[in-house]
Amino acid sequence: MRDKVMAGPRHVAIIMDGNGRWATQRGRLRLFGHHAGARRVREIVRACPDIGVKYLTIFAFSTENWKRTQTEVAGLMSLFRRYIMREAKALFEEGVRVRFIGDRIKLDEKLVRMMDDLELMTADNSKVHLTIALNYGGRDEVARATKRLAREVKAGKIDPESVDGETLARYLDTWLLPDPDLVIRTSGEARISNFLLWQSAYAEYEFIDTLWPDFTQDIFAQIVGNYAERDRRFGAVPA
């Protein structure tokens, strides 16, 4: 019999898909769905301690999402600012540490200041580590990490012959975080959409039909519970 890792996932990453479709099904604008999705984030973060999830990473806005209509993009940026304003105090009081990953260059200065302030405010918290991927793309992250590493090599700080996978990982946005054990995508789409490409090399994936605004704490707990039944060998052959 193969040995199974009978522990739940320590780090769960979620591709929160389906907000727009959820709103369309109700005859509402797409932004209505995004607001509903933001409320769902609050519930899922609060559910983490009870089901043993220490790290939660959510995909809020990708580098490709700039292709959406100007109205939707502006609405999303406003939503991100509103989320930080409304949730900052509660996140701090509930022991949540917040980090943002992604390229901040294209984000407006006010939003970036709010992101910086929230990271600083929650820096000493450790009950749940919430990472929000904002203007994030996996390929973009690896490209930016490679540039930083190349500069260090050029400056003579790193021997190029010593560079390996662990070296590059230290230059990724997620260098302080463990790799995700489980990646969940909602809405019925079965693709990874350029999310945590490097970090998820050995993650388990769960693709579910539920649209993100309908993703409840009970569904989350069930998926996390089912994780313990998976056979994780990390490339090894069972004895």
**Token reading at 76:** 């999303």
Cα 97 to Cα 118: distance, rounded to the nearest angstrom: 9
Cα(129)–Cα(48) distance, rounded to whole angstroms? 10
Structure tokens at 208: 């579910």
Return the structure tokens found at 48.
């983490």
Which one is catalytic: 3, 19, 50, 65?
65
- Taking only Cα atoms into account, the Rg of the chain, rounded to an integer number of angstroms, comes to 19
Q: How far apart are CA 64 and CA 56, in angstroms?
A: 22
Residues 65-84, buried b or exposed e (16+ Cβ, 10 A)? beeeeeeeeebbbebbeebb
Tell me which of 3, 17, 108, 164 is the catalytic residue: 17
Sheet holding 204-207, edge to edge: 96-101, 128-136, 55-62, 11-15, 182-185, 204-207
**Is 125 a known active-site residue?**
no
H-helix or E-strand spanning residue 187: none
Q: Is 135 a catalytic residue?
A: no
Q: Catalytic positions, please?
A: 17, 65
